Amino acid sequence: MTDKCGLVAVIGAPNAGKSTLVNALVGQKVAIVSAKAQTTRARLMGIALQDRVQIILADTPGIFAPKRRLDRAMVAAAWEGAQEADAILLVVDARKKRRDDLEPILESLKGRRERKILVLNKVDSCVKEPLLVMAEELAGPGEDGTVAFDEVFFVSALTGDGVAELKTRLAELMPESPWHYPEDQVSDASERLLAAEITREQIYRKLHDELPYDSAIRPESYTHRKDGSIEIHQQIVVARDSQKAIVLGKNGAMIKAIGETARKELSELLETKVHLFLHVKVEEGWADSRDLFEEIGLDWVR
């Protein structure tokens, strides 16, 4: 069998389950799953393998009405991901009845020539009949005769139901091409970016009530020690002194707990001992700072 390799853009509203689906397709944790909407800031890529086919998944940030500059950058990154794709996967939370947030996405999909696949996710917790109606509504030819979607899949990214079928289909759709990544490299998100994502996930888990979106992780250094362990330094960037106090916690207890959990998870993922050093830095208006945008992998949007 000749080698095949292609790019799949994963798009959808916040919380639709894109990260969970990418993880399920890849079979290993590469993107960040959180119950909170809009946590996927960086455009992490997952790489799924099926026989001699490499499927590169652009796990894009949720598309939503952008207000702040940072949010606009997220949307731009999402669409940038969809530009050179061999297929576009739109992930929809099948449990949601209101689909207002889908309208702008459906509208902009109309003009796209790529193969469009609708993935109705979370079928583990929704009733069947309305689901079929929804599929019919979304997948049929639109009023102007254009087909909104070429194919529909029903999946549960959580239980894995339907994921193998979707993966097989994606593999079929990939063009003949040499592989873009070495066999053992399942993610092109550099390890240091992955490490930053894991710390950020812990901050959301432990502090999301107090620190909604006003924090970011800046990777400082990532070095391999002679004994095979890895030393990682990261800055937790916040906007105000009061937020710094929250991240530190009483006598530093919070940052210690964040660091400890993140270190354990990283150590498991990287299969080696990890030394993680976290520092809190106050930077007013960090969301407008250009270098940080670049560090989290987003284009600068004015």
Ligand X SMILES: Nc1nc2c(ncn2[C@@H]2O[C@H](COP(=O)(O)OP(=O)(O)OP(=O)(O)O)[C@@H](O)[C@H]2O)c(=O)[nH]1
- Smallest distance, Å, CB 99 to ligand X? 15
- Smallest distance, Å, CB 229 to ligand X? 30
Cβ atoms of 203 and 258 within 8 Å: the answer is: yes
- Smallest distance, Å, CB 119 to ligand X? 10
At residue 232, what are phi and psi to the nearest 5 degrees? -125, 130
42 vs 47, beta carbon nearer ligand X: 42
Is the four-CA dihedral 169, 171, 174, 175 of positive or negative sign?
Answer: negative
**Is 60 assigned a ligand-binding role in the annotation?**
yes
**Is 62 assigned a ligand-binding role in the annotation?**
yes
Q: Which residues contact 221 (CB under 8 A, 6 or more apart)?
A: 231, 232, 233
**Is 12 assigned a ligand-binding role in the annotation?**
yes
Q: Contact positions toward ligand X, by CB under 6 A?
A: 12, 14-20, 33-35, 37-40, 61-62, 121-122, 124-125, 156-158
Tell me whether strands 115-121 and 151-154 are parallel, antiparallel or unpaired. parallel
Distances (CA, A) of 53 to 57, 116, 219: 13, 19, 32
74 vs 230, beta carbon nearer ligand X: 74
Cβ atoms of 131 and 120 within 8 Å: the answer is: yes
44 vs 232, beta carbon nearer ligand X: 44
**Is 255 assigned a ligand-binding role in the annotation?**
no
Exposed e or buried b for every residue in 116-144, given b needs 16+ CB within 10 A?
bbbbbbbbeebeeeebeebbeebbeeeee
- Smallest distance, Å, CB 152 to ligand X? 15
**Is 15 assigned a ligand-binding role in the annotation?**
yes
**Is 121 assigned a ligand-binding role in the annotation?**
yes
18 vs 263, beta carbon nearer ligand X: 18
157 vs 173, beta carbon nearer ligand X: 157
- Smallest distance, Å, CB 102 to ligand X? 13
Task: In whole angstroms, give the CA distance from residue 82 to residue 78.
Answer: 7
Instruction: Identify the H or E element spanning 218.
Output: strand 215-224
**Is 299 assigned a ligand-binding role in the annotation?**
no
- Smallest distance, Å, CB 63 to ligand X? 8
16 vs 48, beta carbon nearer ligand X: 16
**Is 61 assigned a ligand-binding role in the annotation?**
yes
Nearest to 64 by CA among 21, 22, 9, 102: 102
Distances (CA, A) of 216 to 5, 121, 169: 33, 29, 37
Residues making up the annotated binding site for GTP are 12-19, 59-63, 121-124
Which residue ranges are tagged as binding site? 12-19, 59-63, 121-124
